[in-house]
Each structure stands twice: as structure tokens, then as C-alpha cells.
């Protein structure tokens, strides 16, 4: 039940949701393509964003979304100084080894964590999605 250990030593992993296999594959395949919001949440993606919410946070136009959700990975939301993304309120800052974990409130009201090199002094932080650290999953029916 230790996901880090399972992903490190296994050739294949299976994710069970409600006693049924919801996703099976190599650790890399399961991580990159979790297949459903439930599997994505189980392996550590959060929050799940609609196409409109993702676009507001700088999701690239060349990666179109239809009815899918964007599952934000642990490093999927990043501070940005450019025009991508949106300024969001900073709610909490926690010093960690080598970075600061910053809890923000996204425009749709959900909390998310951002890693930064240093604490921020302003009440707002501009953030954007890093598509390479997010997964696209089919919305639950």
C-alpha cells in the first residue's frame, strides 16, 4: 500500500477502486495516463480542473480539451512572472527542505499547492499550469 515503493519496484501496478481494477499498467503509464478522476486522485493528482478552469490557468491552446478534466500533478501548478495564468490569493506558506509550499485558492474556489524557491510577500501569486506535470483524464460519466 506504499505507492512510492510500488511505483519504484514494480514492473506493473494495478489501482483498485471499490474492489475493481480501475487502471493497470507500468508505473509510468499509470502515472502519465491515470484514465479516470478516481485513479488520478488515488495516485496523487489534485485538483481536477474543467477545460475552462485549465484555460484560465494558462493551459496551452495547442492542447485542446473537449470534455476532459485536467488533473494537476504535485508540481503541476507553478509560479509565473509572465502573462500566463492568473493571480490567486496566498492562504498559507510552509517552509520545506529546499522550497516553500504555498497554498493558494484558485479562481473556482478550490485550494491547491504551489512550490516556490522563497516565501512570497505579496497577498497574490501569479500561477499557471505546467502541462508536462498534469494529466488529461476523461470526465466521470
Q: Chunked in runs of 10, what are the mean pLDDT values of the chain (141 residues)?
A: 86 94 95 94 94 92 88 95 90 97 96 96 96 91 60
Q: Rounded to an integer, what distance in angstroms lies between the CA atom of residue 77 and that of residue 127?
A: 6
- pTM, full prediction: 0.89
Please name every residue paired with 136 in a beta bridge, in sequence order, or none if there are none: 70
Question: What is the per-residue pLDDT across 107-125, written as a single tens digit (0 to 9) for each?
Answer: 999 999 999 999 999 999 9
Task: Tell me how far apart the 2 most distant CA atoms of the chain are, in Å.
Answer: 47
What SS3 state is found at 3?
helix
Cα separation values, 1 from 5, 35, 69, 71, Å: 8, 20, 26, 22
Amino acid at each position: 500500500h506504499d505507492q512510492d515503493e510500488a511505483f519504484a519496484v514494480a514492473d506493473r501496478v494495478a489501482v483498485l477502486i471499490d474492489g475493481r481494477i480501475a487502471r493497470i499498467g507500468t508505473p509510468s503509464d499509470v502515472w502519465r495516463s491515470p484514465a479516470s478522476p478516481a485513479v488520478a486522485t488515488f495516485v496523487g493528482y489534485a485538483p481536477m480542473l474543467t477545460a475552462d478552469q485549465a484555460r484560465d490557468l494558462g493551459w496551452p491552446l495547442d492542447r485542446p480539451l473537449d470534455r476532459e478534466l485536467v488533473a494537476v500533478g504535485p508540481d503541476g501548478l507553478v509560479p509565473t512572472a509572465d502573462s500566463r495564468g492568473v493571480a490567486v490569493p496566498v492562504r498559507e506558506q510552509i517552509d520545506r527542505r529546499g522550497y516553500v509550499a504555498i497554498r493558494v485558492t484558485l479562481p473556482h474556489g478550490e485550494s491547491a499547492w504551489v512550490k516556490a524557491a522563497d516565501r512570497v510577500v505579496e497577498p497574490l501569486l501569479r500561477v499557471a499550469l505546467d502541462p508536462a506535470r498534469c494529466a488529461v483524464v476523461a470526465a466521470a460519466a
